[in-house]
Amino acid sequence: MTDVDTGGGDRLALAVLTQYRMATTEQMHRVIAPGVRREQTRRRLAKLRDEGLIDRITLPRAGRLRVWFPTPYGVQIASEWPELRGRKPPKTVSDPTAARLRVGHTLTVTETALVFLEDARRRGELCRPLDWIPEVHHPLGGGEAVIPDALMYYRQGPEGGDGPMLRAFVEVDRATMGPERLAAKPTAYARLHNYVPTSPGQRRPAFGQEPAREAWRRHYPIFPRLLFVLDGTGPAGVTTRIHALHVAAEDPALMLFLRTVPVLAAALADLRTDGPSQPVWYPVRDPDRRVAWSWSPHA
pLDDT above 90: residue 269: yes
Burial status of residue 225 (CB atoms within 10 A of its CB: 0-12, 13-18, 19 or more): buried
Confidence of residue 6 (pLDDT cuts 50, 70, 90): very low
**pTM score:** 0.90
Give the whole-number percent of the chain exceeding pLDDT 70: 87
Q: What is the pLDDT of residue 176?
A: 85
pLDDT digits (tens, 9 = 90+) for 38-55: 999 999 999 999 999 999
pLDDT at 141: 87
